[in-house]
Amino acid sequence: MAFTEELDQKIKQAITSKVKGPCEKCGNFGFDLLDSTIRLDLQNKPNVIEVGGPSVPTIALACTNCGKIDFMQQKY
């Protein structure tokens, strides 16, 4: 589900208040917020893909120059 404009702005404000510095790959300072959350499933068994277990809800930022994507835990 896409973020509302209000939620998008709140997330961007929270990120820019805490995250400083340029993209670690290209030095660019701009980023785009990907328009939905991403669920990272925690895997406890090697070679077994578990779905529906513990997970970490995240948001993703993409560098506006090189496209590098960084994941941020949603609760912060």
Residue 66: closest CA among 19, 21, 35, 30? 30
Q: Which two tokens stand for residue 31?
A: 């980023």
- Residue identified by tokens 């701009």 is 30
Among residues 12 and 68, whose Cβ is nearest to Zn ion? Answer: 68
Nearest distance, CB of residue 42 and Zn ion, angstroms = 28
CB atoms within 10 A of CB 8: 13
Separation between Cα atoms, residue 75 and residue 71, nearest integer Å: 12
CA gap 65, 46 in Å, rounded: 35
- The window from 3-11, 29-37, 44-52, 59-67 that contacts Zn ion (CB under 5 A) reads 59-67
CB of 43 to Zn ion, least distance (A): 28
User: Binding marks (x or -) toward Zn ion, 8..47, rule CB under 5 A?
Assistant: ---------------x-xx-x-------------------
Q: Catalog residues that contact Zn ion under the rule CB under 5 A.
A: 23, 25-26, 28, 63, 65-66, 68
